[in-house]
Amino acid sequence: MIDLKKLRENTSIIREAAKAKNVEIDFTRVLELDKLVRALQQDIQQIATQKNEASKRIPQADEAEKEAILTEMKQVDRKGDELKAELQPLEQELDDLLHKIPNPALSDVKVASNESENEVLRTVGEIPEFSFTPKDHMEIGQALGIIDTERAAKVSGARFSYLKGDGVMLEFALIQYALDTVMKYGFTPVTTPHMVNARSMRAMGYLEHGGHDEIYYLPKDNMYLIGTSEQSVGPMHMDEILDLGKGAMRYAGFSPCYRREAGTYGKDTKGILRVHQFDKIEMFSFCKPEDSDAEHNMILEIEEKLMNGLGVPYQVLKMVTGDLGLPAARKYDIEAWLPSQEKYRETHSCSTCTDFQARRLNTRFKDEEGKPQFVHTLNGTAFAIGRTMISILENFQQEDGSVIIPEALRGYMGGKERLTTLK
């Protein structure tokens, strides 16, 4: 949520920031509504004051005066009710418009309209060379007997899968490896609710500008299935004042993620690259504003440490304004090399949302003077299981059909060094 005071004082800056994110907002209407709402609220407050003063006169009044005061208060009440009826739709319209205003990008983010202009910050690791034609993850997974999309389609439809045998063991190895790593940085593991209420989802900034299209909604319950545990972890502390005296409050949320993946087509709909349900470990931090940039750098550092531990080639991108989304003020992506596609594909992201989500959640801390201030929130992928498995299967596949297990995971798989094909 944008601070209304800042919006009034810096309308042109916030208008340009929205435009940089390809978002059109009627700021003239926003400011007009703001004036109308404030004026009505002031009138309603004056009526409340008038009623309070009138009620103080009643104990000293005689019967005739009491009758006159009560008549006066009834008239004032009617006027107040009329003003409140006038105020309610204006407040709702203003609130809806304010929720659509995106978080302005930070000053170090490149202003550009689309993802083709994202900046590649670095490329890490050597792209593997094969003496044979590399297979895609589905060919490998089916031969290993660890991925079954055909039976999942019978049960649930397209873009679902069963993981089996070593596929399950590989998933839990990735989970344990990620948890062991992030806990060293002070992240507390947490399993989260898979459904959140409307206030929580809206506060996190995922319902505006087409976000609804990606999210599974349960209208009978007015609940949403989460697309990432971030959407459950962020609201954990709404309407709370946090103690950040010892530093950031950090969580590592593990959950299934549910996404419609609306508009995807072609190769991305096959296998487990873009599916309607997958598991993920997500890092989430609540911190003081002055610690926000350092926290963002640390989350990216952890993501790279995890990828380096696997030995998968990757590149780090810094997203331009047009590819940030509503809540993010700065975002980095990590893309792993996929031999079957001969290109890098996203496996990780990490964002700072500054105080944007915290304002909507009313999550604060007390500064050195004891004054409540809004926290900053940040998030970052530890592992999205499906995509990480794809990168392992494809980069470490062998000509005999086996797949070398990264050393970092072997201790979680009983020392096993390879996934071998079914006989």
Weakly modelled stretches of the chain, pLDDT under 70: 209-211, 263-268, 422-423
Q: Would you give the end-to-end CA distance of the chain in angstroms?
A: 57
Q: Which residues contact 175 (CB under 8 A, 6 or more apart)?
A: 254, 279, 281, 383, 385
Q: Where are the beta strands (DSSP E) in 129-184?
A: 147-148, 162-163
Query: What local confidence, expressed as pLDDT, does residue 362 receive?
Result: 97
DSSP string, 205-260: T-STTTHHHHS-EETTTTEEE-SSTHHHHGGGGTT-EE--TTS-EEEEEEEEEE--
Query: What local confidence, expressed as pLDDT, does residue 421 receive?
Result: 79
3-state secondary structure of 342: coil
Query: What local confidence, expressed as pLDDT, does residue 64 receive?
Result: 80
Write out pLDDT tens, residues 293-303. Answer: 999 999 999 99
3-state secondary structure of 1: coil
Query: What local confidence, expressed as pLDDT, does residue 211 receive?
Result: 67
Phi-psi label, residue 222: left if phi above 0, alpha if psi -120 to 50, beta otherwise: left
Query: What local confidence, expressed as pLDDT, does residue 68 receive?
Result: 78
Query: What local confidence, expressed as pLDDT, does residue 63 receive?
Result: 77
CA distances from 25 to 90, 215, 283, 330, 354 (A): 17, 23, 31, 21, 21
Domains of the chain from N-terminus onward: 26-100 (1.10.287.40), 115-419 (3.30.930.10)
Q: Which residues are catalytic?
A: 259, 274, 346, 349, 387
Report the distance separating Cα 147 and Cα 151, nearest Å: 10
Identify the H or E element spanning 95: helix 63-100
Query: What local confidence, expressed as pLDDT, does residue 169 receive?
Result: 97
Instruction: Identify the DSSP state of 109.
Output: S
Can you say whether the dihedral through the CA atoms of 399, 400, 401, 405 is positive or negative? negative
Burial class of residue 260, CB neighbours in 10 A (0-12, 13-18, 19+): middle
Query: What local confidence, expressed as pLDDT, does residue 423 receive?
Result: 52
Contacts 24+ apart (CB under 8 A), 134-138: 134/339, 134/340, 134/394, 134/397, 135/340, 135/394, 135/397, 136/271, 136/340, 136/341, 136/394, 137/271, 137/272, 137/273, 137/338, 137/340, 137/389, 137/390, 137/393, 137/394, 138/270, 138/271, 138/272
Residue type, 137: H
Q: How many CB atoms lie within 10 A of CB 222?
A: 10
